[in-house]
Amino acid sequence: MPSLFLVDAFANKPFTGNPAGVVPLTATPDDRWMQQVAGEMNQAETAFFWPEGDGYRLRWFTPTVEVDLCGHATLASAHVLWSELSNPTSTLKFQTRSGELVCHREGEFVVLDFPSEHPVEMPLSEELRTALPATPVWQGRNQMDHFVELSSLDLLLETAWSTYLPAIEALAMRGLIVTAAGGDGVDFTSRCFFPQSGVPEDSVTGSAHCALAPYWASRLGKTELTGYQASPRGGFVHCTVAENRVLLKGSARTVVRGELVV
């Protein structure tokens, strides 16, 4: 029977960061089965990987759909290979729907080498305006998400975002990244809402930082940044912006080990 792990990613202690299901496999599984397992796990994403070439094929599923890119479940998969399955290599290669993703170890941290997804400025639509508590400082989107900067950190943190979820769900694309400058010891703070994908608010979103890091790098004039995602669980993402890539660094903790019996 396949092993099953629950891993808190972008977490420096258990029950923080973003939990991900991780299912290591030995051969290509059935798509419907993976979606059913992800629904049973009911996490923001469940990752499935199996050997392919000199690395692994990696796919990610929310409880309702397969997604093109997921940072925290990639970090969790690398953590399982190194910490649970004793993979001896210091660098891992994953083949995904977003191309080859490479991870390497840096002490207790996992470093993800991801594509930059800098948002492009767009006019403020009425649909987006109704999904926000105030007119944003800046709005745009990339190939995955709508993206807005709010005028203050207080507005980001204190808004009752649950009241805006129906309007966010009506938007096209994966969902909405909302950000503001500053935070306690960080360069920027964010929150991410993906009700279209069955995830009302994500805990810590690695793929969102593929947009957040280059956006704030250009705003702040620096390439090394730390972001905090202010979900109820919360988590830090250390970012390095380099040309068309973004390096995302975080740690992980295994909280559940088990096996699938179906």
Residues identified as active-site = 45
* Residues recorded for the chain: 262
- Is residue 170 within 8 A of residue 201, CB to CB? The reply is no
DSSP character at residue 159? S
| 125's tokens | 């639509």
Nearest residue to 104 via CA among 127, 120, 81, 134? 81
| 249's tokens | 């660094």
Burial code (b: 16+ CB inside 10 Å, e: under 16) for 104-118 equals eeeeeebbbbbebbb
| Tokens 């594509």 sit on residue | 115
| 242's tokens | 């380099």
Residue 252 and residue 72: Cα distance in Å, rounded?
A: 9
